[in-house]
Amino acid sequence: MALPHDTVETMETIWNAELIDRLIALWDEGLPTAEIGRRLAISKNAVIGKAHRLALTPRPSPLKRPPTRRRGLGVQPAICTWPNGHPGDKDFKFCGEKPVPGKPYCAKHAAMAYLRPKTTTAA
């Protein structure tokens, strides 16, 4: 019985310059390795192995997206942001007190912000 061929060597023999060029072109298009293999009539493993040997840029999996950090929604400021004075005035500043949990204002200003202004001033 003859010794079985080294499978890696057998796979290498399929590669010629044209096939490598097509592999690189399809790889650059971002096609899945299985699709590249189908188009080049070679196995997916051959595509992956050759791409590895050619040191082609690994492509991020579409399933692995970098985590996105949500900011700006529901973030409580560190201080009460109730304005004292008018924006633009040189003495304008925020209240600066410790805010009520879940609200952007301190207890006093949260009460002022969330209570409806009384309309019975014309007594």
Residue 55 Cβ, how far from Zn ion at the closest point, in Å? 60
Instruction: Report if residue 97 touches Zn ion, rule: CB under 5 A.
Output: yes
One symbol per residue from 48 to 87: x for binding Zn ion (CB under 5 A), - otherwise; what is it? --------------------------------x-x-----
Q: Which stretch binds Zn ion (CB under 5 A): 5-13, 47-55, 97-105, 115-123?
A: 97-105
* Amino acid in position 29: E
| Residues, the chain | 123
C-beta of 47 vs 80, nearer to Zn ion: 80
Q: Among residues 56, 95, 103, 104, which is the contact residue for Zn ion, using CB under 5 A? A: 95
Annotate 53-72 with three-state secondary structure: HCCCCCCCCCCCCCCCCCCC
- Cβ–Cβ under 8 Å, residues 50 and 23: yes
Rounded distance between C-alpha atoms, residue 111 and residue 94, angstroms: 16
